[in-house]
């Protein structure tokens, strides 16, 4: 699918307050990921902490960034604009 080309190859994992990189193929359900400003969200997910603006224009057509906060769903392939989520 064309959306698969939007996925990053490497993700930032959070485990016991440590952040490390992992191949996207190795992530599992319930893994906690860190998405920094300017990075693509690697997979459909739910925000666990933080607040950010997300550019969903390539998926929804909406030109304005959407504010995302704890428990909001985010779409893989969209871009995290401001905060770390």
Number of structural domains, the chain? Answer: 1
Pick the range with the lowest mean pLDDT from 11-15, 38-42, 56-60: 56-60
pLDDT score at 17: 83
Q: What is the dihedral of CA 56, 57, 61, 65, to 10 degrees?
A: 70
CATH number at residue 57: 2.70.150.10
85 lies in some domain:
no
**Domain hosting residue 14, numbered range:** 2-80
Query: In the prediction, which pLDDT does 85 show?
Result: 58
Q: What is the pLDDT of residue 21?
A: 96
pLDDT in tens, 34-56: 999 999 999 999 999 999 999 99
**Domain-located, residue 18:** yes
Our CA dihedral for 39, 42, 44, 50, rounded to 10 degrees, sits at: -40
Pick the range with the lowest mean pLDDT from 34-38, 59-63, 68-72.
59-63
Percent over 70 (pLDDT), the chain:
91
């Amino acid at each position: 699918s064309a959306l698969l080309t939007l996925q990053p190859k490497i993700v930032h994992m959070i485990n016991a307050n440590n952040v490390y990189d992992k191949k996207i193929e190795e992530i599992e359900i319930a893994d906690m990921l860190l998405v920094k400003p300017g990075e693509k969200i690697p997979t459909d997910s739910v925000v666990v902490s933080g607040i950010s603006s997300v550019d969903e224009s390539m998926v929804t057509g909406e030109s304005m960034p959407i504010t995302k906060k704890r428990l909001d769903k985010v779409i893989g392939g969209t871009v995290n604009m401001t905060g770390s989520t």
